[in-house]
Amino acid sequence: MNLWERWVEHCFRPIDARVPAALRIGLGTVTVLDMLRTWSHGLVPWLYRVDGEGMARPLAYYLLEPLGPDGPVTAFWVALVAYAFVALGAFTRPAIVVALLASAQLGQVGALTEQGVDHIVRTALLILLFAPCDNRWAVGPSKRREEVPAWSLDVITFLLVLIYMDSGFCKLFRDWNAWTNLAAHPATFRIMADPLSGVVDPVWAYERQWLFRGLDTITLIFECGAFVLLTRARSVWAVMGVALHLGLAFTMKLGQFPYAMLAFYPMFFVPEPKRGAGNAALQQLLGALKRKQTEESAE
Amino acid sequence: MPSRRDAGALGVLLAHVTLFVMAPPVFDYLQVSPNRAWGPFQTLSAWDRSIRGPVVDEMRPVEALLGVRQNWHFYTTGASRTRHFEVWVDGELWHRSNDREHDFMAGPLANSRLRHHVKDWVRGKRVGQTQPALLNLMVERVRAEKPDAARVELRGLEGRWPGHVQTIVRRASADIPPEAP
């Protein structure tokens, strides 16, 4: 088998159809809940109206102008319904397209209202648009299948690796002193104890900076070493990722970020079927043993 | 003759390459902040800007249309100083960031969609864009809670860690006219 054939085999190796379905449901549900939370706080018109009364200031690629000042508010509800359809697995592909376009326009309404995690969710959904992700756990009319090709999860894993490594390296490049200088306040202390975004008491945390020094080290190791998620040891690394995002969920006010990221993690804990000639031989042997057993029991 | 699987695998390969071009670790950040590059990264960063930069620029309209811009240099080194946002109503403290005793509108103000507006206002960024709407929002909510409130004041405070001493660096207020009978 040459290199290309191995690549094709790798892309189309079968995985449990419930894995991409779980990712679809997770991302859709977290986004819907986050949008409902914004609505329940009564912030939708304040954040998205473009008549100068709210905080929105449209960017270059804002296309909803013909709909008037309420256009983004309409787009908010359209996106919310579309994300709900994505989560339910009803008309999944059209729903993903509508969710992408509508929520991207919301992002164009104001840079501050948009978050990095919105881009992550949309990029993952863009990948799932081309992949079977509604063959299980879906209410729509899609065909039920037990196994689907693994390539979509491979691309999404690669995306996460780029995100983590980019974030990790830029921490060092932006101000390596903040992460490595033992005399400076630990970066995680300054992040988690920031009253405007964290819930950790700065005075309490100030007395325990050694704790945050440890968290700094673990964060850098996890992010810069995120390429391990591409290897067979990924489940070990993913445990660190789960701990990191749970920590963020409990110590910071980041909205949907930690929960959307956690929605990606089930795929790292699902064991993949063993591949290769050795496995094929093993499967043949097991099949032969099973047939022999059946024949013996029939006799 | 290439099969459908071959075409699919080629698409997957292109997806990997596209993602890598859009956000290669280190260079994605250095393209935004080239002055941070040091040593050999200065040369590599210059090559990156001249080779990858134009390609990424061509992708901008598609990235914006689909909202899939690949910039991941977030949550870097945290706040250099400790900052608080406060809401005072008729001289009484109603809200203070991360303070359970003064938690008026704590939920909406901590909402991740609004939080960045509040943070920028305290830091003095985009004040012209944020301040009128933020003040009007507060007036509306204060009025719902206390119809006879006469004055709402927003304060931004800054200080050195851990924040024992803070000074007011931003202030905005609104006198609420009495409601028509």
Closest Cα partner for A150 from A277, A282, A23, A259?
A23
In chain A, which among 37-66 make CB contacts under 8 A with chain B?
37-38, 41-43, 46-47, 53-55, 57, 59-61
* Whether A169 contacts chain B with CB within 8 A: yes
Break chain B into its structural domains and give their ranges.
4-66, 82-175
Picking from A130-134, A194-198, B76-80, B143-147, which range would have the lowest pLDDT averaged per residue? B76-80
Question: What are A16's two structure tokens?
Answer: 């449990």
If one compares A71 and A281, the residue with the highest pLDDT of the two is: A71
ipTM attached to this prediction = 0.93
* Whether A6 contacts chain B with CB within 8 A: no
Break chain A into its structural domains and give their ranges.
16-149, 163-275
Say what the pLDDT of residue A277 is.
Answer: 45
Select the residue of A108, A191, A196 nearest B64 (Cβ to Cβ).
Answer: A108
Q: How many CB atoms lie within 10 A of CB A229?
A: 24
Question: What are A109's two structure tokens?
Answer: 């309404």
What is the separation, in whole angstroms, between the first and last Cα of chain B? 83
SS3 per residue for chain B? CCCHHHHHHHHHHHHHHHHHHHCCCCHHHHHHCHHHCCCHHHHHHHHHHHHHHHHHHHHHHHHHHHCCCCCCCCCCCCCCCEEEEEEEECCEEEEECCCCCCECCHHHHHCHHHHHHHHHHHHCCCHHHHHHHHHHHHHHHHHHHCCCCCEEEEEEEEECCCCCCCEEEEEEEEECCCCCC
Q: Do the Cβ atoms of A196 and B78 come within 8 Å? A: no
Question: Considering the entire predicted model, what is its pTM?
Answer: 0.91
Q: What phi and psi values does residue B85 have, to the nearest 5 degrees?
A: -115, 135
Element (H, E) at A87: helix A71-88
Q: What are B117-156's pLDDT values in tens digits?
A: 999 999 999 898 899 999 999 999 999 999 999 999 999 9
Give residue A138's pLDDT band: very low, low, confident or very high (50, 70, 90). Answer: very high
Which amino acid is located at A273 in the chain? Answer: P
Q: Do the Cβ atoms of A197 and B117 come within 8 Å? A: no
Say what the pLDDT of residue A274 is.
Answer: 55
Say what the pLDDT of residue A278 is.
Answer: 46
Q: Do the Cβ atoms of B33 and A174 come within 8 Å? A: yes
Q: Distance (Å) from the C-alpha of residue A247 to the closest C-alpha of chain B?
A: 14
A41 vs B contacts (CB less than 8 Å): 107-108, 111, 114
Q: What are A16-69's pLDDT values in tens digits?
A: 999 999 999 999 999 999 999 999 999 999 999 988 888 998 988 889 989 999
The Cα B181–Cα B175 span in angstroms is 18
* Whether A12 contacts chain B with CB within 8 A: yes
